[in-house]
Copies of this chain bind each other. A is one copy, B any other.
Amino acid sequence: MHRNDSTLTSPSATALATLGEFGLIARIASGVCSGEGVVTGIGDDAAVTTLSPGMQLLTSTDMLLEGVHFRRSWHDPYRLGRKSLAVSISDVAAMGGIPRWALLSLAIPPDSNLDFVDEFMRGFLAMAAEHGVTLIGGDTCSSRSGLTVSVTIMGEQLPERIIRRSGALPDNDIWVTGTLGDAALGLRLAEGHPGRSSDPRNSGVEEVGFLLNRLLDPTPRVSAALALAEAGVITAMIDISDGILADFGHIAEQSGVGGRITLADLPLSATFLSHTAHLSAVPYQLVLSGGEDYELCFTAQASSREKIVDCMKKCGIAVTRIGIVTRSPGVTAVTCDGSHYTAQTEGFNHFT
User: Which A residues are closer than 8 A to B by beta carbons?
Assistant: 2-3, 5, 16-17, 19-22, 24, 39-40, 43-51, 56-63, 65, 67-69, 91-92, 94-95, 97, 101, 103, 105, 107-108, 110, 136-146, 148, 150, 152-155, 159, 162, 164-166, 237-239, 250, 253-254, 349-352
For A17, give its contact among B22, B24, B351 (CB under 8 Å).
B351
The residue of chain B having its C-beta at the shortest distance from the C-beta of A348 within the complex is B21
How far, in angstroms, from A236 to B17 measured CA to CA in the complex? Answer: 31
Q: Which of B19, B20, B68 contacts A143 (CB 8 A)?
A: B68
B47 touches A150 (CB 8 A): no
- Picked from B46, B49, B67, B239, the residue with its CB within 8 Å of the CB of A144 is B67
- CB nearest to A157 among chain B residues: B48
Q: A56–B39 contact, CB under 8 A?
A: yes
5 closest Cβ pairs, A-B complex: A145-B145, A150-B150, A46-B60, A45-B94, A21-B350
Q: Are A141 and B253 in contact (CB under 8 A)?
A: no
| Contact partner, A150, options B5, B61, B67, B154, Cβ 8 Å | B61
B352 A44 Cβ-Cβ under 8 A:
no
Contact B51 A95 (CB under 8 A): no
Q: Give the CA-CA distance A237 to B24 in the complex, in Å.
A: 23
Q: Could you tell me the distance between the alpha carbons of A258 and B22 in the complex, rounded to whole angstroms?
A: 18
How many whole Å from A286's CB to the nearest CB in chain B?
A: 20
Whose C-beta in chain B lies nearest to the C-beta of A103?
Answer: B61
Contact A63-B148, Cβ < 8 Å, known A17-B352, A95-B45, A351-B20: yes
Whole-angstrom distance between the alpha carbons of A103 and B57 in the complex? 13
Contact residues in B for A146 (Cβ distance below 8 Å): 144-145
CB–CB A62/B144 < 8 A:
no
A22 contacts across to B, CB distance below 8 A: 349
CB < 8 Å: which of B5, B91, B352 contacts A45?
B91
Determine if B56 and A3 form an interchain contact, defined as CB atoms under 8 angstroms apart: no
A139 to B60, CA, bound (A): 9
**A16–B144 alpha-carbon span in the complex (Å):** 24
The smallest C-beta distance from A38 to any residue of chain B, in angstroms, reads 10
Instruction: Name the residue among A45, A141, A351 with the largest chain B CB count within 10 angstroms.
Output: A45
Of the candidates B24, B46, B56, B69, the one whose C-beta lies within 8 Å of that of A91 is B46
Partner of A107, one of B63, B140, B165, B253: B63
Which residue in chain B gives the minimum CB-CB distance to A142? B350
Contacts of A145 in B (CB 8 A): 144-146
Is there contact, CB below 8 Å, between A97 and B46? yes
B57 pairs with A57, CB closer than 8 A: yes
Instruction: Check if B61 sits within 8 Å of A349, measured CB to CB.
Output: no
Check B61–A56 contact: CB distance below 8 A. Answer: no
